[in-house]
Chain A
Amino acid sequence: MSTPKDLKFSETDEWIKVKGNSALIGITDFAQSQLSDIVYIEYELDVDDDFEKDETVATIESVKAAADIHAPVSGTILEINEALIDNPEHLNEDPYGSWLFKISIDDPSEVDALMDAETYDRFCEDRGN
C-alpha cells in the first residue's frame, strides 16, 4: 500500500491529516500490519477533552497484542469515530481511510515537526519491514 503524500506521520505510527484548523488522526498501514487482525478499540478520551502530544488517546487490541495510540500533536477532541467500535477491522482494511479522532490543533509547528510520507517509509524500512 502506498503511503499517502498529504499525511504526516509520528514515530509511534500514527498519521495526521490537516484540514485548516482541524485534523484527522489514524494509524498507519505499517501499524495495522504489525498488529494483524484488530478486534477491539477503546477510546480513552471524549469530545472536548484536551490532550498533550504523545498522550495515550486510545488503546487498540488485536489477536496478537494490545497497543496504545499516542496523540501525534497536542489539541482538543472534536469528534470520535464511533463506527470503529463495532467495526474495528476497518483499521486493517483501510488504515488511511479510517480515522479515530477529529481534533483541533493547538500548535501547528508540532505538525511541521512530524515525518512526511517519504521519511516515514524509510523509517519503516529501517525497522526491518
Chain B
Amino acid sequence: MAEPTIYEISSSGRTGFQFHKPDVPCAEIPAELKRDELPFPEVSEVDVIRHFTRLSQLNYAIDLGIYPLGSCTMKYNPRINEEMARLPGFAMTHPLQPLDTIQGNLALIYQLQEWLKEISGFAGVTLQPAAGAQGEFVGGLIMRAYHRSHNDLKRTKILVPDSAHGTNPATSSMSGFEVVNVPSDSRGNIDLEKLKAICDDCVAGLMLTNPNTLGLFEEHLQEVIDIIHQKGGLVYGDGANFNALLGVIKPGEVGFDIMHFNLHKTFSTPHGGGGPGSGPVAVSKKLVDFLPAPIVGIIEEGNDETPPLYGFITPETSIGRMKAFYGNFGILVRAFTYIAMHGATGLRKIAENAVLNANYLKMLLGNAYNIPYNRKCMHEFVAEGFWNDAPGIHALDVAKRMMDYGVHPPTNYFPLIVKEALMIEPTETESKQEIEHFAEILKTIAQEAHHSPDLLHTAPHHTPIGRLDEVKAAKDLVLCCWIPPEE
C-alpha cells in the first residue's frame, strides 16, 4: 500500500499556489543567499489534499478508538477546546501587541494560573514551560536557586525512584545535579529504609511521581516527604499522573514544594504529534519569588465598572525566562476551556472515572496476564507481556497483535522494573462497553500466545504496513524525504 512521499508525486512545472503581486517595493535578495537548486515538490492543490488525506486515513488516533498508552493520558480532546482556541480574539493576536490591546488574553492566563493554584494547592504558577520535561527543568533550577539563596551550596544530589520517567534523571542532570536512584519495595512503593539511608544534607530534593508509573499510590507519601524535609531537601511532584488525583488531593497541601502539570495529559490539550505540549509549574509560598519571569498579574485593581488591568510581573529573584513569549498560548486556551467546562465537581469525576476504568479493566483481565505489584491501582496498571508456558512471546508481540484488532497498543517496556511491561491507561474517556471490548481483545491474544504463537510473532497482519524492522529504524536514520544528489 506504500503511499509515495510528496517528492515522489512531484511533476515538473506543476503548481498549486501563486504569490500575489506585491503591493510593497521589492528588495533584491543578495546573490550569496540564492541557490540554483532547491527541490520543492511541484504539486497541485488536489495532489497535496489527496496525499495528506490518504496519510491521515492510514493513521490511528484517539478520534478512532481507545489509546491506552500508560502514563501518557491519551484522553479525548474535546472539540469545544478547538473552537475556543480558534476565536479570532485569541488566534489572531500577536505576542508583541501593546498590553492594552491583549487584556483578554492576559485575563485568561491570569485565571488559568489561579485555577491551577486552586487545583494543586500551591501559591504560585508559571505557564511558560513548553512541556513536562521543561517544567521539570524549571523545578530543578528553582531547587538550585532556593538552596543557593540560603547559601547552602553542598546540596549536589537529586533523588529519583527507579520507577521514574526518564525525564526525571535527565532534567536533574541538566539542572547541574547528580542523580541518585532510589529503589522500590515489593509493594511498588519507595523503599523507605533505603531512602533513609541515602538521604542526607547533600540532597537538594526528591522527584516523585504519585501515583507512580506502576499506577500505584505511594502508601508512605507522608513519611517520604517528611524524610526529605527533615534533611532540608525539597520535594518535586512530577504531575504526569495527576489525572488520577484531580479534585481529590492537592499536592501543595500534603507537602510537595513544586510540581508540574501536563496540560496535554490531564487537561485534554492535544498530545504527541498533535501538540505542542504545555508544562506549567506550581510552587509553594517560599518558592514563589524564584518562578520564571514573566507572570501575569493584576497591575491595577478593577471595580464594578472597569475590569482590572493585567500586566506582566517579574518575581523578585526569578530564575529568568524559560521560553520566548508566554508559553504555548493556544494550548492554554484549550486547558482553560476544559477546566471551565467541567468545574470543580466535574474535575473530580474525571479522576474517579479514570481510576474506576483502570481497575475495571484490570479486574476483567483476571488471570490472563500476570500483574506484579498487584494491588488496587489508580489510573493505570502494569501487566507482564510474557508467559512461562508460552516461550518466545514478548510484550512487543502482544502489542503488535493488538493492532490487528484495531486498537492502539499500550506503552511497552516501561517502567523498567517490570519484565516485558505492558503499561495500560484507559483514561476516563472510554465507556464501560469499550473497556469490555478492549479486555476481550487482550484475553484473546493471551490465548493466541499459547495456541498460535506465530500469529503474534508475525503481527500485525491487518495494518497498512506490517512489522517494522526496529533495529534498522534505529540504526539507519533517513531523516529527510529528499536525498540530495552526491556532488
In the assembly, what is the distance between CA of A66 and CA of B416, in Å? 10
Contact across chains for B419 and A64 when beta carbons are under 8 A apart: no
| Chain A positions within 8 Å of B481 at CB level | none
In the assembly, what is the distance between CA of A28 and CA of B166, in Å? 24
Q: How many residues of A contact B (CB 8 A)?
A: 11
Contact across chains for A37 and B471 when beta carbons are under 8 A apart: yes
Q: Summarize A's interface: helix, strand, loop or mixed.
A: loop
Q: How many residues of B contact A (CB 8 A)?
A: 10
In the assembly, what is the distance between CA of A96 and CA of B107, in Å? 64
B411 to chain A, nearest CB (A): 12
- A39-B475, A63-B470, A89-B471 known; A128+B419 contact, CB < 8 A: yes
Tell me if A47 is interfacial: C-beta within 8 Å of chain B: no
Total inter-chain residue pairs, C-beta < 8 Å: 19
Contact across chains for A64 and B413 when beta carbons are under 8 A apart: yes
| Chain A positions within 8 Å of B394 at CB level | 36
In the assembly, what is the distance between CA of A37 and CA of B468, in Å? 13
Contact across chains for B416 and A65 when beta carbons are under 8 A apart: yes
Tell me if A40 is interfacial: C-beta within 8 Å of chain B: yes
Contact across chains for B474 and A40 when beta carbons are under 8 A apart: yes
Contact across chains for B474 and A39 when beta carbons are under 8 A apart: yes
Contact across chains for B474 and A63 when beta carbons are under 8 A apart: yes
A53 to chain B, nearest CB (A): 17
In the complex, per-residue mask of B429-473: 1 if CB is within 8 Å of any chain A CB, else 0:
000000000000000000000000000000000000000001100
User: Of all chain B residues, which has the CB nearest A129?
Assistant: B419
In the complex, per-residue mask of A30-60: 1 if CB is within 8 Å of any chain B CB, else 0:
0000001101100000000000000000000
Question: What are some 8 contacts across the A-B interface (CB < 8 A)?
Answer: A37-B471, A39-B474, A39-B475, A40-B475, A63-B471, A64-B413, A65-B414, A89-B471
Additional A-B contact list (16), CB under 8 Å, known A37-B471, A66-B166, A128-B419:
A36-B394, A37-B470, A39-B471, A39-B474, A39-B475, A40-B474, A40-B475, A61-B474, A63-B470, A63-B471, A63-B474, A64-B413, A65-B413, A65-B414, A65-B416, A89-B471
